[in-house]
Every structure is written in structure tokens, then in C-alpha cells.
Chains A and B, each alone.
Chain A
Amino acid sequence: EIVLTQSPGTLSLSPGETATLSCRASQSVSSNYLAWYQHKPGQAPRLLIYGASSRATGIPDRFSGSGSGTDFTLTISRLEPEDFAVYYCQQYGSSPRTFGPGTKVDIK
């Protein structure tokens, strides 16, 4: 199965700054089938990005995804207070579907 590694584990930033989150796969993700999710405590996780770079419905354009093969990036521009959360990547290029361990973006 594909193992996903996310870095950094925690990112401490101020509102207005840009967050750059990395997701690395143990082998190439087929067709760049990689998704990103946002998870806040007590809430359902929310799909942000699929297909490595396509924003899900209703997701603001300050969220962008990029990358291919084994290296993927989620960029959050102009951090808003509501963006402080845990972010997970997930691959669906092969079975079983697997998730990364998450990156926590917290307020500096």
C-alpha cells in the first residue's frame, strides 16, 4: 500500500501569511489521484482538493494544490482565522486508499 508522509507536523503561522504543506508518497500516485482535507475539532472533515489541484465545490481560491508523482503541495494563501486546522492528504490512485498523518496549522 502507498504510505503518505506529511510535513511539517505542525506549522505555526499568523493570519495573512501563506501556509505550504507537503505530502510525499512512497510510490507514484496513479493519475495524480490525490486529495486534501481540512479537519477542525468537533466537525466533519471537509474535502478541499481532489485530483491534486482541483478545488472542491465552495472552496475558496486561496486554497490551491499542486504536484505530481510522489510530491504534492497544498498552499493556503492569506490565512484566515478559520483556516487554522489539521490538513490531511489522501491518495486514491490505488487500493487500499491511504491517508497521511496530517499537518496541524496553528496560530503563531
Chain B
Amino acid sequence: QVQLQESGPGLVKTSETLSLTCTVSGGSITNYYWSWVRQPPGKGVEWIGYIHYSGNTNYKSSLRGRVTMSVDTSKKQFSLKLTSVTAADTAVYYCVRGWTYFDYWGQGTLVTVSS
């Protein structure tokens, strides 16, 4: 059974960089697309972007310029960096498998942005 686990700081200061890593277990990281989605408290789910195991990326246009995703196939991990964060970036962040529908999800990690 494929499992995804997010890791990273739960608190990030305003204007700094949010960094999260997702570790894939129980399955291969190769031959798949991997995405990040987030859900601010009390709000809807937002797709942030995807990375292919080859390293190709595609980000939501409204976040382009602040988002960078990377992948390390040897460690079966992929990562998210979001720069210049504000309170609007406070959310539960999920790593997921896929680029169309998302068939496996991590449990999510709450990242709070505060000064």
C-alpha cells in the first residue's frame, strides 16, 4: 500500500520560506506525477503544482514565482518550497500522487505563518 508522509516545520515566519518534504513508501516514486495541494482553515482545497519523477514541473499560475518543487528519486522524496509567505499561506498542506485525479494522499501537515 502506497503511503505518503509530509514533514517540515509547522510554523514559518512571515516573508520567509516554507519548506516541506514528502516521503513515499510502499511503492515506486518513478513513473508518476506528484502534486502538492493545500487547504487553508475553513476554506477550499487548492492545487499548488506537480512534479514528475523526471523533474518536470507545472505550478498554479497564481503561485508561480514563489513555488519550487524538486524530487529525489533515490530517497523517494519530493519537496515543496514556497517563498515570501504571508498569513494567506497558512494551511494544511498535503502531498498527493497524481496530476489528474489524486489516488494517494498524505495525512497533511498544518503550516502556520506568523510574525
Q: Which residues of A contact B (CB under 8 A)?
A: 33, 35, 37, 42-47, 50, 56, 88, 90, 92, 95-102
CB-CB under 8 A for A44 and B44, given A33-B100, A92-B100: no
A25 to B: closest C-beta gap in Å: 14
| Residues in B whose Cβ lies below 8 Å from that of A45 | 94, 102, 105
The 4 tightest CB contacts between A and B, nearest first, are: A35-B101, A99-B45, A44-B105, A92-B100
CB-CB under 8 A for A96 and B44, given A44-B105, A44-B107, A45-B105: no
Q: Is B61 an interface residue (CB 8 A)?
A: yes
Give per-residue flags for B81-99: 1 if the beta carbon is below 8 A from chain A beta carbons, else 0. 0000000000000100001
B101 with A43: CB separation less than 8 A: no
Of A42, A43, A88, which is within 8 A of B45 by CB?
A88
Of B61, B102, B103, B104, which is within 8 A of A96 by CB?
B61
B47 with A98: CB separation less than 8 A: yes
A47 with B106: CB separation less than 8 A: no
CB-CB under 8 A for A47 and B101, given A95-B58, A96-B60, A96-B61: yes
CB-CB under 8 A for A99 and B101, given A44-B106, A44-B107: no
5 further A-B contacts with Cβ under 8 Å, apart from A35-B101, A90-B45, are A47-B102, A50-B100, A92-B99, A96-B47, A97-B99
